[in-house]
Amino acid sequence: MPTLPAASKSARFFISYRSQDPDLSLAQNFYEAIKAAGHEAFMAGESIRLGEKWPQRIDEELKLCDYFLLLLSERSAISEMVTEEVRQAKELQDSSDRHKPVILPIRVKFPWSMPLNYDLRGYLQQVQQREWNSPADTPRILHEIFSLLADGESRRVEDSENGELRDEQLFPLIASSAHPPLPVAEPVLPDGQVNLASNWSDLRGLLDPEPSPELEFPFFDKAFYSNCYKEVNRPGGLIRLRAPLQWGKTYLMSQILDYGTQQGYKAVRVDFQEPEKKLFNTPKPFLQWFCTSIVRKLNLPDKLAEKWKSTVSNNIDCTNYFEEYLLPAINSPLVLGLDNIDVIFSYHIASDFLALLRAWYDKRTTNPIWKKLRLVIAYSKEDYIPRDRNRSPLNVGKGIEIPELNRLQVQNLAQRLQLPWNGEHTV
């Protein structure tokens, strides 16, 4: 790697990335190079210590950083956590007299022809971006960043209106003809969960050219539902529902739970958006809230004081509560829906709780009582926490990705809403 120009004054960098390659390896390379050049770098996986509160630390580092280095890959471009970090960086930049942090987007094996979602397009509109396609590009990009940084420290320009000196922006805004302009207004989306009993006939007609009377949800056919229902009927089954916010996860989960009820099963939905976030800071109160929520919805007596044995492990206490009381107390399988579970991903409790769910799933092969539990897990984003594949429920069972609308559905939608459509735009 060539010698990199070093600035006389240390700058702070925030590296935004996905915790899987190529993002992870590239983030590590940038992190080490930035520190070697005498600057400060924040990379969540390297910088946050065990026991620290992830959301608070992320917010603090965003406020302190001078440069927001965005590794924009195909995966990170659909990550809601990455999008939220970009939003915060843009908001801080717009409110700062020095226009900090400066956003430095690097497209990681993510060509210009690949579209960004609505939010990212808005945040990155007219911001210069660079492309990274192989490790050979790393020295070139680093050299450019540090060269601009070194030049920018001594570069001061005079404001023509008031004669004051100000910093010149390192990455000047540019207009690009390669990307279509943004809409003049945000699209109006439905607010909140769709009522389970609502009539989907209008929406089916809106999205599908030939609506089928068998279609229960506007993206899936009968075969899809059969697969979901088959997993619910399987002893110890597990379904993972993943899609962006307001994409239909909760409605789909409600359909699955409703099917379980029709089969004579118990069905409970736990929404992780409901409790106060401070509950996620300590394992015991969190797990007891979790157990109490389920027991109450099953109309069972709350026996935490009696059954919670306060061993050295909160996970063991929770497992014993299910195994010795909750599951034996019902005479049918329990379909347990865990909605918006990604709310806890950035908290310290996440790793242990996900390991607990995986342990329950694995117990179905050795303890018949756990065959009564059928898990339905819904989430919309990932986190930075590396997970052992053997300690996570997010890579077992049946995974469901709710798809985006296809071209024909978008065309029908545009026609119904009387929007111009020439068939050339991409979604």
Residues in the chain: 427
Chain segment 214-240, per-residue pLDDT in tens? 334 444 556 667 778 888 999 999 999
Q: Is 142 exposed, middle or buried (0-12, 13-18, 19+ CB in 10 A)?
A: buried
CA distance 118 to 187: 9
Band of pLDDT at residue 406, cut at 50, 70 and 90: low
Could you tell me what percentage of the chain is helix, strand and coil, using 3-state DSSP and rounding each to the nearest 5? Answer: 45, 15, 45
Position 396 scores a pLDDT of 87
Bridge partners of 167, per DSSP, are: 156
Band of pLDDT at residue 40, cut at 50, 70 and 90: very high
More confident residue, 307 or 169: 307
Position 51 scores a pLDDT of 65
Max mean pLDDT among 114-128, 216-230, 301-315 falls in: 301-315
Max mean pLDDT among 15-24, 231-240, 412-421 falls in: 231-240
Can you give the pTM of this predicted structure? 0.56
More confident residue, 130 or 174: 130
CA distance 53 to 67: 22
High-pLDDT (> 90) share of the chain, %: 32
More confident residue, 194 or 175: 194
Provide the 3-class DSSP secondary structure of residue 39. Answer: coil
Q: Walk me through the domains of the chain, giving residue ranges and CATH numbers.
A: 12-167 (3.40.50.10140), 220-402 (3.40.50.300)
Q: Which H or E run includes 195?
A: none
Q: Which H or E run includes 157?
A: strand 156-158
Chain segment 226-277, per-residue pLDDT in tens? 778 888 999 999 999 887 766 678 878 888 898 999 999 999 999 998 888 8
259 within 8 A of 231, measured Cβ to Cβ = no
More confident residue, 184 or 377: 377
Band of pLDDT at residue 413, cut at 50, 70 and 90: low
Band of pLDDT at residue 409, cut at 50, 70 and 90: low
Distances (CA, A) of 364 to 57, 187, 327, 369: 38, 45, 13, 7
> Quick one: which of 325, 328, 298, 313 has its CA closest to 359?
313
Over residues 137-155, mean pLDDT:
75
Over residues 85-96, mean pLDDT:
86
On the question of pLDDT at 285 being above 70, the answer is yes
Over residues 125-140, mean pLDDT:
87
335 within 8 A of 300, measured Cβ to Cβ = no
Over residues 288-305, mean pLDDT:
93
Band of pLDDT at residue 111, cut at 50, 70 and 90: confident
CA distance 47 to 49: 6
Angle subtended at Cα 381 by Cα 377 and Cα 384, rounded to the nearest 5 degrees = 115
Q: Which H or E run includes 134?
A: none
Band of pLDDT at residue 49, cut at 50, 70 and 90: confident
CA distance 354 to 286: 13
Position 57 scores a pLDDT of 84
Of 297-311, 363-377, 379-393, the one with minimum mean pLDDT is 379-393
The mean predicted confidence, pLDDT, of the chain is 77
Q: Is 277 exposed, middle or buried (0-12, 13-18, 19+ CB in 10 A)?
A: exposed
Position 197 scores a pLDDT of 45
Provide the 3-class DSSP secondary structure of residue 338. Answer: strand
Position 317 scores a pLDDT of 93
**Segment 206-209 long-range contacts (CB within 8 Å, at least 24 positions apart):** 206/412, 206/413, 206/416, 207/405, 207/409, 207/412, 207/413, 208/409, 208/412, 209/408, 209/412
Token pair of 71, please?
Answer: 């590794």
On the question of pLDDT at 82 being above 80, the answer is yes
Provide the 3-class DSSP secondary structure of residue 372. Answer: helix
Position 105 scores a pLDDT of 92
**What is the per-residue DSSP string for 296-334?**
HHTT----HHHH----S-HHHHHHHHIIIIITTTSSS-E
Q: How many CB atoms lie within 10 A of CB 186?
A: 10
Position 171 scores a pLDDT of 42
On the question of pLDDT at 383 being above 60, the answer is no
CA distance 93 to 96: 5
On the question of pLDDT at 416 being above 80, the answer is no
On the question of pLDDT at 176 being above 50, the answer is no
